[in-house]
Amino acid sequence: MQRIGVFVCWCGSNIAGTVDVQAVSDALKNEPGVVFSTNYQYMCSQAGQDMIINAVKEHNLTGIVVCSCSPRMHEATFRRTAQAAGLNPYMVEIANIREQCSWVHKDIPTGTEKAIILGKAAVAKVNLNTPLTPGESPVTKRALVIGGGIAGIQTALDIADAGFPVDIVEKKPTIGGKMAQLDKTFPTLDCAACILTPKMVDVAQNDKIRIFSYSEVTDVKGFVGNFDVTIKKNARYVKEDICTGCGACVEKCPMKKVPNEFNLGMDNRSAIYIPFAQAVPKVATIDPNACNMLKNGKCGLCARVCAAGAIDYTQKDEYIEEKYGAIVVATGFNPISMDKFDEFAYNQSKDVITSLEFERLTNAAGPTAGKLLRPSDGKHPHTIVFVQCVGSRCDACAEKGKEYCSKICCMYTAKHAMLTRDKYPDTDVYVFYIDVRTPGKNFDEFYRRAVEEYGVHYVKGMVGKVVPEGDKLKVQASDLLENKQLHIDADLVVLAAAIEPDKSARPLATMLTASMDTNDFFTEAHPKLRPVESPTAGVFLSGACQGPKDIPETVSQAGAAASKVIGLLAKDKLTGNPCIAHSNELMCNGCSSCERVCPYGAITYEDKEFRMPDRTTLVRRIAVVNPAVCQGCGACTVACPSGAMDLHGFASGQIMAEVDAICK
Amino acid sequence: MNNKYLYEDLLRMSGVNPKKCMRCGKCSATCPAYDEMEYHPHQFVSMVENGDIEPLLNSDSLYKCLTCFACVDRCPRGVEPAKLVEAVRLAAVRKQGANHLKADSVPDMLDDETPQQLIVSAFRKYSK
Amino acid sequence: MKVAYFPGCTLKNKAKELDDYARKSAEALGVTLEEIEEWQCCGGVFTTARDEVATKLSSVRALVAAKNKEQPLVTVCSACHNVIKQTNHAMQTDKEFADKVNRYMGEEPYSGETQVYHYLELLRDVVGFDAVKEKVVNKLAGKKIAAYYGCLLLRPNSVMKMDDPENPSIMEDFIRAIGADAIVYANRNECCGGYIAMESPDLAKKKSNAVIENAKAAGAEMIITACPLCKYNLIKNGADIPVVYFTELLAEALGVKEDTNE
């Protein structure tokens, strides 16, 4: 028989506000096995923990029930407390009477009744608990970073700086991401290339970092410390180690009419191309959908002009398998499609552009060499209308756009407006806004400068319709402060399109068993206290894959993710989770049901000899769980038709005892 | 709010929840009848929300809305202001003797080409 | 094939040609428009208030008649289509409203089972524009035609679901199918002023002019529409290019136009 102590936490008024904690500790005192029961204001505090330790010693406790917040919050804390008191940490059970009780109930009688029931269930379980000892697993001291934008670059550099090898997998032919496409960066207006490209070079020159460009992750197996990852290196038809990036092939390629994705289709590139001058790796890539040689065997010019002999039309996709201890997701974002917002005539006029396109139009390396010219006729625009929140902050029932604020648009629009007025004082610049959101160091000052020093017209209101007519864009808008409808003849309209996670994120999350929210942003383990970790152990988050972020925030988060990875890789061994599956070999009939459902590949089979009562022997196939690989998800215990599979710490008997206690 | 009953009735009739409005003004930006209106679509939403309904009931703006549904389709919050305008208009014209369009005045408004549809539609909108 | 047909009041009077050309063209394309019996005027506009029942009964009666014939219900007039389709949607989604309406119907309750097509959708989704193209005998080659959708065909999009409400293409595809050039202009889905023409002709003039000017600036030589009220407003307010019903052009292209003027 266990000797159980019950400790009911008030959590200040969080629990005590809707639960009569005294009644709970009194009621649980009478449960079988309970020899001590009390309540206290903050059980997780030093005084609270000391109370538990003293009670264990004084009453010879063998098990502990803490009625408090979610086990995700403090289970680890109280397990450490138990250990300090000389108990096995797995003799602790948490009854969640906060998130699942006091926070969701409004009146004290209901809250108290439910808290008592939850406490009884925990007591019933502890009565059946047994001490558990976790196993250990080794750590592969190498990290994988998926995505080579500024988030991935910074994370990789920081991990490498601590001495651990890092691989970056980037699906584009070069690293650099969205930041490489930007012109200037707010709020200091330093040029994006000037601060990004040195980092890209650092990555290329760092002997701890390998770059898999034009590559993608196709399979992930294993678990924290021991991931087995398959990387597909797409055939680029150029030998990466031989190509010098001289660009002779690009110059000679006769197929020059391929929309240039780096400039968002506003100019063309050749079929063999280097995305931009500072690309890393600076090697050419052949676009198989555009190259005549690859499509119909007619051409071969690039191979003839390549002095290094780097062109290889027969190159095949290559699959690489590698082991990693930690994985960082840095898959970034994209602006949403403007197809559902054609009241702004994006698909009807070349002079209606997105903000990212505006970046390219003002970038010295862009399609107009940095001169702000209209895409339709190459003329200098004199009236420019910026529209904020296009597709952001939409209600779900509007069936288009995103519900969230995209966060970066207010600042980059202020930047675009300011820079336009600075470079072309003869332009009239209007910004239509719903709210101007500028929380950030020196952000609001920046926006005010756009208004006060640069004379940008900020209008509280929205654009309702853009009508291309002649060489003008007739903009119909509201000015809510003046209570007027405005009609502006504009030359250029710039849409601050909402941003969304990259499309590769969803399948990647499935591979990683990492959770996502309804918008396909990766979910963090805790929104405040563990913002750079995925709930899946060993998977970390960097940059806009977790939520809209500007560059300063992305770089901070990238560094934070790196420090978490370093903390993991610095360990030689990881303490495992003892709550794992085990098979009762006498009941197992080797049917393979468990193997089929195991997401971790932790179950194998072996033939074992059994001695029968009549002294004969029988060889039977039985399931064996690899304790280093099992993550204790419990899928096998449900799939097992004979009841042979069970989970340490969550045994069927324990669960049923809890259910019985609740239903009694 | 002294118009609580009317307020709730308007919301029930229209199915509109004015609290969803984020004050962007896109409805008024897109409204083709804006210049003819004393109260504009975004004001209908905020005035109803604030229970300030009386001025709307007495305003000619009720009869300027074209029910073109541009504000309904373009509202990023799914507020559907036109449905609210319609509900307020019905609250006004449903009263005994409150018909906005009287049959006697119609013949003067017609010409040889006037389609039947025009007369029928105007009656539907303006009279009960 | 045979489909149930709701002509509407204007098509029996001021817009007879919209009706005549629609029937003859459909026949030429292998579709018979079977006029439902004892149809009543749809009311011209859909009242969005959920407690308006009587004004929507005529639409529901037409829908039920089509259901009994086991045929989809086709309309040509944009306004009738809008009213009937919105009413059908309300019958599908608003149970309280549907219950009230069904007290006026037969034994079997109606809950929006009938498929509602605009004539243009019939051409696109049932006949197919490619099939239309094959039947064209008089190509209107080189003719620069601007489609005018107005508001009723497309909005509210959550109910009408005919096309992209902001950049539609069904009428342009129609124009191309009959061999002419489609002129795309942004005001093609803006309101002509509608029934405001009754009380505020000046507003209707302003709105119609904005449509005409935008179409002309884009190079249009002719405007087509599916709505008698749109046509009236555009012509009355000084359109100096022809404004015709799309069915007239279809009949011309199919070579059945002459047959219609009995």
- When pLDDT is averaged across residues B96-111 and rounded to a whole number, the result is 92
Residue of A nearest to C189 (CA): A343
- Using the predicted structure, report yes or no on whether residue B1 has a pLDDT greater than 70: no
Same domain flag for A173 and A275: no
Distances C242 to C25, C224, C245, C253 between C-alpha atoms, Å: 21, 8, 10, 17
Which of A348, A290, A18 lies closest to C189, judged by CA?
A348
Over residues A224-275, the pLDDT tens digits come to 999 999 999 999 999 999 999 999 999 999 999 999 999 999 999 999 999 9
**Same domain, residue pair A344 and A380:** yes
| Domain-terminating residue out of A569, A596, A625 | A569
Write the residue in A396, A464, A480 that is nearest to B74 by C-beta.
A464
Is A119 contained in some domain? yes
Note the pLDDT of residue C260: 46
- Whether A544 and A552 have beta carbons less than 8 Å apart is answered as no
Confidence band of A223 (pLDDT split at 50, 70, 90): confident
Looking at the fold, whether A9 and A29 belong to one and the same domain comes out as yes
In sequence order, what are the beta bridge partners of A541? A329
Q: Which residues in chain C have their CB less than 8 angstroms from residue B125's CB?
A: 45, 195
- CATH assignment of the domain containing A41: 3.40.50
Q: Which domain holds residue A175?
A: 143-227+322-332+502-569
Q: Are strands A184-185 and A190-191 parallel, antiparallel or unpaired?
A: antiparallel
**B39 & B62 share domain:** yes
Question: Residue B109 sits in which domain range?
Answer: 101-128
Smallest Cα distance from B36 to chain A, Å? 11
Residues A513 and A435 in one domain: no
Same domain, A408 and A507: no
C16 touches chain B (CB under 8 A): no
The answer, for A393 touching chain B at a CB cutoff of 8 Å, is yes
Question: Please, are residues C34 and C4 in contact by the beta-carbon 8 Å criterion?
Answer: yes
**Average pLDDT of chain A, as a whole number:** 95
Select the residue of C158, C166, C217 nearest A399 (Cβ to Cβ). C158
pLDDT the model gives residue C238: 85
pLDDT more than 90, % of chain C: 95
C187 at A interface, C-beta within 8 A: yes
- Which CATH class, in words, describes the domain spanning C131-260? alpha beta
Of A96, A126, A156, which residue is a domain's last?
Answer: A126
The structure tokens 């190079």 sit at C219
Q: In the listed set A498, A522, A557, which residue is the last one of a domain according to the structure?
A: A498
Say yes or no for a CB contact (<8 Å) between B14 and C8. no
Q: What's the gap in Å between the CA of C63 and the closest CA on chain A?
A: 27
| Cβ-defined contact of C191 to B66 (cutoff 8 Å) | yes
Tell if the CB–CB gap between C14 and B111 is shorter than 8 Å.
Answer: no
C8 to chain B nearest CA, in Å? 9
Q: Are residues B81 and B39 in the same domain?
A: yes
Indicate the pLDDT class of residue C189, thresholds 50, 70 and 90: very high
Residue C5: name the closest of C32, C43, C35 by CA: C35
Mean pLDDT of C52-81: 96
Structure confidence by residue, pLDDT tens digits, A577-589: 899 999 999 999 9
State residue C261's pLDDT score.
47
Q: Is A321 in a helix, a strand, or coil?
A: strand
Q: Which pLDDT score is estimated for C259?
A: 60
Let me know whether A54 and A11 are in one domain: yes
State both tokens at A630.
Answer: 């099992």
B69 vs C contacts (CB less than 8 Å): 151, 155-156
Cβ proximity of A587 and A563 under 8 Å: no
Chain B residues with CB under 8 Å of A474 CB are none
Average pLDDT over residues B20-47: 97
Contacts of C8 in chain B (CB under 8 A): 117
Cβ atoms of C205 and C234 closer than 8 Å:
no
pLDDT tens-digit readout, A379-432: 999 999 999 999 999 997 777 899 999 999 999 999 999 999 999 999 999 999
Are A465 and B35 a contacting pair at CB < 8 A? Answer: no
Structurally, chain B folds into a number of domains equal to 2
Under CATH, to which class is C2-120 assigned?
mainly alpha
**pLDDT above 60 (res A278):** yes
Is residue A535 very low, low, confident or very high in pLDDT (cuts 50, 70, 90)? Answer: confident
Structural domain tally of chain A? 5
- Determine the Cα angle at C225 with ends C221 and C229, to 5°: 120
By C-alpha distance, the chain B residue nearest C51 is B13
Residue A218 in contact with residue A230, Cβ under 8 Å?
Answer: yes
- How many Å is the maximal CA-CA distance in chain C? 56
B111 and B71 in one domain? no
B43 contacts in chain A (CB < 8 Å): 483
Q: Nearest CA to CA, how far is A196 from chain C (Å)? A: 39
User: Which residue in this structure is represented by tokens 């942004």?
Assistant: C186
What does residue C110 show for φ and ψ, rounded to 5 degrees?
Answer: -105, 135
Question: What pLDDT shows up at residue C262?
Answer: 44
Cβ atoms < 10 Å from Cβ of A456: 24
Average pLDDT over residues A510-533: 94
Question: How far apart (Å, rounded) are the C-alpha atoms in residues A168 and A177?
Answer: 12
Q: Does A238 fall in a domain?
A: no
CA distance C102 to chain B (A): 19
Beta strands in chain C (DSSP E): 2-6, 32-35, 73-75, 116-118, 144-147, 181-183, 222-225, 243-245
What is the spatial distance between Cα A399 and Cα B78, in angstroms, rounded to a whole number?
A: 8
* CATH code at position B10: 1.10.1060.10
Q: Are residues B39 and B84 in the same domain?
A: yes
Split at pLDDT 50, 70, 90, the class of C106 is confident
Q: Mind listing the pLDDT tens digit for each residue in A584-633?
A: 999 999 999 999 998 778 899 999 998 888 889 989 999 999 887 788 98
Over 80: is that where the pLDDT of A478 sits? yes
Q: Are residues A373 and A463 in the same domain?
A: yes
Q: Report pLDDT digits (tens) over A119-168.
A: 999 999 999 999 999 888 899 999 999 999 999 999 999 999 999 999 99
Judging contacts by C-beta atoms under 8 Å, the chain A residues touching residue B79 are 395
B106 with B88, same domain? no
What is the rounded CA–CA span in Å between residue A555 and residue A566? 16
Residue ranges of the domains in chain C? 2-120, 131-260
Nearest to A485 among B22, B28, B77 (CB): B28
The answer to whether C184 faces chain A, any CB pair under 8 Å, is yes
- The answer on A402 and A256 residing in a single domain is no
In whole angstroms, give the CA distance from residue A631 to residue A137. Answer: 12
| A527 plus A628 within the same structural domain | no
Within 8 A of B31 by CB-CB distance, chain A residues are 464, 485
Cα dihedral A244, A248, A252, A253, rounded to 10, equals 20
Q: Are residue B21 and residue B72 in the same domain, yes or no? A: yes
Which amino acid, residue A530?
R
Same domain, A257 and A211: no
- Same-domain pairing of A221 and A147: yes
Cβ-nearest to B67 among C14, C45, C227: C45
Same domain, A483 and A548: no
Nearest to C186 among A339, A341, A348 (CB): A348
pLDDT for B2 equals: 56
CATH code assigned at A541:
3.50.50.60
The gap from C-alpha A662 to its chain's centroid, in whole angstroms, comes to: 37
Q: Is C157 on the interface with B (CB under 8 A)?
A: yes
